[in-house]
Structures are given as structure tokens and as C-alpha cells.
Structure 1
């Protein structure tokens, strides 16, 4: 197989078209088109469906891209490492991280990593959705309680849990009455199953505020609007200084943050360096450790 043709096929697949690949890389569009056509002829497969305005991978083309893209990257990294004489982390590192972690800790994490590894060009995007690592070109993703995925491997590096908190002047309801609540996401009546020091209870919530960010929810709780469910790492300082009081823990609300990467890929020096950096930042991976990191 012609590796140059395969590399050009990957460029076109990654950028979603001959024109986009040509503009991004400075390669002639005609050369890219010719190389892909030659590769299709050699394999006797159609790799792209060519529409009037768009280009789409065929099923065979997608399979070839998923299996060869990471291998070509590894070849480039190996050649660069040999040329430099060492496996020194360098190059572009794209990471997808969830919103709350990005708002509270990823800026500090990114800055510390950039200072330690100046040859790595770190790019972090914030998304709560489950991104397609191969299709969207990510080297590493951080996900909250991810569903099992045979194509990804990794480890949990942080743990957290949800607690119900409110201002001290808001009494915890008894006898089945509802309490003003601040929720993230859709509105509607809710019942929270809460474990207290006296045992499990049910708290009926009347959602008076529906907000899209847990940071916003925390700020509204601090203002005394009502009670809310929040990660303990986000409110531990408020609980320590008495600004907020803890009504109990939400049953079954354990949270695990996972760092994941494609299982087919040999772990690159820069991904390995970032994973090691996370383990140094959070050696125990506890909510208290995250709270201290955020507050420091």
C-alpha cells in the first residue's frame, strides 16, 4: 500500500473534503484527489461518496480511516522522537473536558502542564456531550461516569458525590412539605432521596430556578433562593465556613471523572505526560483533593 496515498486519504477524511484539506495543509487539491483515486483503485474499494457539494466516507472508508489514522500519527511521532533523540512530549494535544471541571480546574491544570511541557501545544474544548474521538480528532477525553466503550481505555482520576445544601436560615422540610429548589436542567416537581445522619428521607422540591450551569446553581444557593444538589467539591469551603449547611447526601450520586483515549492507539508521549500530570495533581482522587485544588 502506498503510504503517501494513505496519508493523503487521511487528510481528506479528517478535514471532510478535498478543498478543506488543501486549504488546511497547503497541498494542491488536484494532488489530493489523484492520490485518493489511486488508493481506491489499488484497494478496489470506493472510500468516499462524492456528492455535488459534500464528501462522505463510505463504510469501508470509515473503517480504513479509523484503523490507519492513529497508526500514521504514531509513525510521525516515532520519527520525530528518533530525530530529536528522545521521547520528549511535543506537538498538538487536543482534549475534550466537561463544563464544570473546565470552569473550576482546567485552566489551572492547562497552565501547569504548559509550563512543564512547553513543546506541547495544548488545546482544550469544553463539552458535556460524548464526543467522537476519532471523527473529531481528539487525543484524550475527560468524561463523567462514562458508559462502557470497547474502543476506549483509561482510568478514573477523580471522584465526587452530590450533596444537598442550603443557607443556614432555610430549614430542612419535614412532614412531606416541599421546599424551594434550584435545579440544573428541565423544570418540574422533583423528589430527592437523601441520606442523612438520621437515615434516608425524601425531600420534595418546588423548582423555583432552573439553571444551565452548576456554578450558577451554587451562586443562587449562596444568595438564599433555595436548596440544591451540588458536588461536594464545589461547596466544601462554604460548608467549612458555615455559609451553607449540608442536609445530606444524594443516594447513589457517586461521580467519577475518567480520562479516556482510543484503545487501538499506542500511547503517545504527550498523552502519557498529561495522564501523569493528572495523577500528580490528584494523587488520591478524592472530592476533598479537588476542592483544595480549586481553592488554592
Structure 2
């Protein structure tokens, strides 16, 4: 038995949730897929998959093996890709999804530079704050903004953005500034509805642990620029990332409130389905973005975040 091939077949069956779909992905027959899994189970002396006509699920042994193999096979594929990368030129259509506000402000200026560096790559950029399914919706790469990273895909951190509570000077002049997160319920706030807890703002305690402080939303939106616009209007305070508010802070259009109460930072991630068989065009884009955001991003400068 070719154990490396058997491991690849087993992980593909799990990832694709089926023998027939795994066979399509591996360009082989369902019978071969079944044979490899059966031989692997016989070799290990353990059942890895529970199979019925309608459902496929991992056994305890199968789940443990899958978690280990997924990382091992990704490392093997990444090593192979790195060894052969010099012989492959990036080309073809590259579909990328990115958040709307971040995409317009910080990614759009970079695309012309990438097109000059990789003239054989055709870019197809989709901007949406919805979390897309990379595989089902046919994306090669996504840019995501996350406090927790990506659990289901490979992610490379491109940059960091801090979060702040801020308000227009006119709001502070009229209503004062909260002394602590406990005071937020006495102030008009803007809720970002795509956050995990829209009516709570996360802060970090003295031990670096996150806790939620309730707010009183006067206005809600699922778009960061709309949240920023409401803060600039002076009608309410907002919880904003520095990649949206940094320029306004430097210009004095917004002021930071409660600077002694930090909020968890967020990571700007390049996310792709797997390191295995990573195409030259995806690798080129990830490396390009990592280089573009290397160092301290413009949005972090002089924000005292």
C-alpha cells in the first residue's frame, strides 16, 4: 500500500464529505478511493469512517488521524511547492474576495502594482462583508479581518489593526466622554451588526482577557464606512478599527475616548483553502500582499492605539 497516497485519499474523502466527490477531486475512480480507505483501516487496525447510504462521519480514531494528517500533508505540499515555485510563472484568472471598506481603501491602490508585476494574471475582485465559502463559490483567495484567525482554511497574517472607541469632538463637547466601559450605556453608540455581539463592545482586562461591555445602540449598520460616517456626524460614539479611523484621528475629525481601556486587535488575513497544490498565481498574490503590508501600516501611525 502507498501510505502517502492512502493518507491523501482519506483526507480528501473527509474534506469533500464523500467517496465520489473525493474521486472526482483526485481524478480517480470511487472504487480506488474505497480500496485505499479500506487498506488504510486494515493497516491501522481501526475503523476511520462510519459510512451509510446517506451519511459519512468520522470515528474517534478517524478524527484524530485526520487532524494530524491535514497539517502533515499541507507541510509536504508546501515544501514541494516552494521547491518548484521558480519553474512556474503565475498566470490565469485569480478570483479574490475582500471586505468592502478595507478593499476600497487599502487594496484597490495595490492592484495596479500587482498587474505590472504579474502581467499574465487576470484579477477578478469581489468586495463583500459577507464571509464567502471559498470552495463552493469558486474563490482562489479571500482577505479577511478577524480576531480569531481562520479555523477552516490556511491563513497568513498580512497586517494588524487596532480597535478604538472614538467620537467626533462635537459629541464629546455636548455629552462628555465615558470614564469607563461601564458608562457606555449612558451614551449613544453605533452598533456594527456583523460583529459576533453587536450590542456589546469587547475590551481587554488587566490580564489580557476579553470581556463584553453592553452599549445602547442608537444606530446600527453592517458596513464600517457607514459606522464611521455616523461617528463623524457627532450623533454617536463608535467602535472602529484604525484602518478606518486612523486618518480621522490624525486630522482631529475623531478623538479617541477611554484610551486606558484597550480593545482586542484584529488581524488582516490572506485566506486560501489549502497549501496543497497552491497555484503560482495565489502564491504570488499572497507574497505580494505580505510585502505590501510589511512593517507598520499607514493606518497605525500616530493613532496611539
| TM-score, length basis structure 2 | 0.60
Structure 2 Cα separation of the partners of residues 92 and 35 of structure 1:
34
CA contact (8 A) 1:189 1:205 kept: yes
Moved more, 23-32 or 114-123: 114-123
- Is the alpha carbon distance of 1:252 and 1:170 closer, same or farther for their aligned partners in structure 2, counting shifts above 3 Å? closer
CA contact (8 A) 1:92 1:123 kept: no
What corresponds to 1:162 in structure 2? 164
* Alpha-carbon offset, residue 161 of structure 1: 3.4
Q: Does 1:284 align with 2:278?
A: no
Q: How big is the alpha-carbon RMSD for the aligned residues of Structure 1 and Structure 2? A: 5.2
What corresponds to 2:62 in structure 1? 61
* Alpha-carbon offset, residue 237 of structure 1: 3.2
Structure 1 Cα separation of the partners of residues 71 and 199 of structure 2:
45
Structure 2 Cα separation of the partners of residues 45 and 111 of structure 1:
53
What corresponds to 1:248 in structure 2? 257
* Alpha-carbon offset, residue 51 of structure 1: 2.5
What corresponds to 2:191 in structure 1? 183
What corresponds to 1:17 in structure 2? 18
Structure 2 Cα separation of the partners of residues 175 and 159 of structure 1:
23
What corresponds to 2:209 in structure 1? none
Residues 226-280 of structure 1: per-residue CA shift (max 9 Å, x gap): 23232233123345556x332535421252526599xxx99x8979866654453
Structure 2 Cα separation of the partners of residues 42 and 189 of structure 1:
52
Structure 2 Cα separation of the partners of residues 175 and 73 of structure 1:
50
Q: Unpaired runs of 5+ in structure 1?
A: 132-137, 194-203, 292-296
* Alpha-carbon offset, residue 69 of structure 1: 3.4
| TM-score, length basis structure 1 | 0.62
Q: Unpaired runs of 5+ in structure 2?
A: 134-139, 205-213
Structure 1 Cα separation of the partners of residues 63 and 126 of structure 2:
25
Write 1 or 2 for the structure with the bigger share of strand. Answer: 1
How many residues end up aligned between the 2 structures? 267
Residues 152-182 of structure 1: per-residue CA shift (max 9 Å, x gap): 9977832423041226377342498944322
CA contact (8 A) 1:142 1:259 kept: yes
* Alpha-carbon offset, residue 217 of structure 1: 0.9
